[in-house]
Amino acid sequence: MELIGEQKINASRDVVFTALNDTEVLRQCIPGCEAIEKISDTEMTATVVLRVGPVKAKFEGAIELSNLNPPESYTISGEGKGGIAGNASGGADVTLVEEGDGTLLQYNVSVKIMGKFAQLGSRLIDSTAKKLSSQFFKKFAAIVETQSGS
């Protein structure tokens, strides 16, 4: 499944790029995130609890940043194991475009779900993924704009 979208953020591109690499900001923005820990400049671990329809699972996973081109773009990818509920993997290519005194964050997300979650049907998975993505980017924009004083 793929999701393509954009989010206008009233903050400079440098501020937005820095926030995309801040574990505390990410923890607050990722729906269901219980913990996130930075292992290195390009690696993190995370614990996320998700409910999709009748299935709820706790995912333990690894996150990696690659194709770093500060402050313009990067790729974030991850893989999580949710026990009997299944596994999930995916990534997002993120591009930051200066737009006036703000930044346009463009994203292209791809997600692969396996196991019990995958059996719920693509329509439910797709709508949940869109909802979670929207929640993430709206919360991210709100936090970054508050921190930057916009």
pLDDT computed for residue 150 by the predictor: 60
Q: Rounded mean pLDDT of 18-22?
A: 94
65-120 tens-digit pLDDT: 999 999 999 999 999 998 888 888 888 999 999 999 999 999 998 888 888 877 87
Q: Rounded mean pLDDT of 54-62?
A: 89
Contacts 24+ apart (CB under 8 A), 145-150: 145/9, 145/10, 145/11, 147/11, 147/15, 147/19, 147/25, 148/10, 148/11, 148/12, 148/15, 150/10, 150/11, 150/102
The residue type of 131 is K
pLDDT computed for residue 98 by the predictor: 96
Count CA within 13 A, CB hemisphere, residue 66: 6
Residue 44 has pLDDT above 90, yes or no: yes
Kindly list the structural domains of the chain, giving each domain's residue range(s) and its CATH number in brackets, ordered by start: 2-148 (3.30.530.20)
Which backbone phi and psi does 109 adopt, to 5 degrees? -105, 140
Which of 101, 77, 92, 108 lies closest to 5 in space, CA to CA? Answer: 108
Residue 63 has pLDDT above 70, yes or no: yes
Question: pTM for the whole thing?
Answer: 0.89
Average pLDDT, the chain: 91
- CA 24 vs. chain centroid, Å, equals 13
% of the chain beyond a pLDDT of 70? 99
